[in-house]
Amino acid sequence: MSLRAALAAALLGLGASGCGYSSQLRLPAPHHSVGVEVFGNDSPAPELERSLYAALDDAVATMVSAELRAPDAADVVVRGRIVDYWRLAGVFGTGGQLQESGVTLHVVAWLLDRETGQRLGAEVESVREVRYAVGVGAGAGEDAARELALRTLAQELVLELFSEANLSLEEGAEPALRDEAPDVGL
């Protein structure tokens, strides 16, 4: 990219931000702050809720145009639970050696108006499956698959929870059906 093109892009970005444009998701009026609670954990994986909290907190801070606060001080709270987490049975080679496996994470979440206790929008359910090749490369394996599942699932939840389409739904309404998200592999 030439210096002239880079300067033009920078000026365009400054101009767009100066007029109040933001690509981030917004809270419905009159809410101005959001907090993420540690989710309940019905899965057999202990302490998974702490890792999900970190991923969700990061996704909200990055993707939502609102002040991030502690849940007890926020206007809107992200609340939910981990329904399940399991390891996939895997794929075995001709010698009976495990070659591929994976993890699946199932979570439900919703937004809550902390002052009124009312839900904002519909409950969102997300399932993320991440497969990995066994014994291939550093930084691969179940731990890396779990981290990728947590991060991508958190981003999906934030996109869906804070979408205008979801926030316009009445409590108890079902969002439109969508195709299942593709599997993510390492």
Please tell me whether residue 183 adopts helix, strand or coil conformation.
coil
pLDDT tens string, the chain, 186 residues long: the values are 554 554 455 545 554 445 444 457 777 777 889 999 999 999 999 999 999 999 999 999 999 988 899 999 999 999 999 999 998 887 878 888 777 888 999 999 999 999 999 998 889 999 999 988 877 665 678 888 899 999 999 999 999 998 877 777 554 445 444 445 555 555
Beta-carbon contacts of 152 under 8 Å, excluding residues fewer than 6 positions away, are 128, 130, 184
Task: Give the C-alpha separation, 80 to 37, whole Å.
Answer: 8
Q: Where are the domains of the chain?
A: 28-185
Locate all alpha helices (DSSP H) within 46-141, ordered by sequence: 48-63
Assign domain 28-185 one CATH number from 3.40.50.620, 3.30.160.150, 3.40.50.300, 3.40.80.10.
Answer: 3.30.160.150
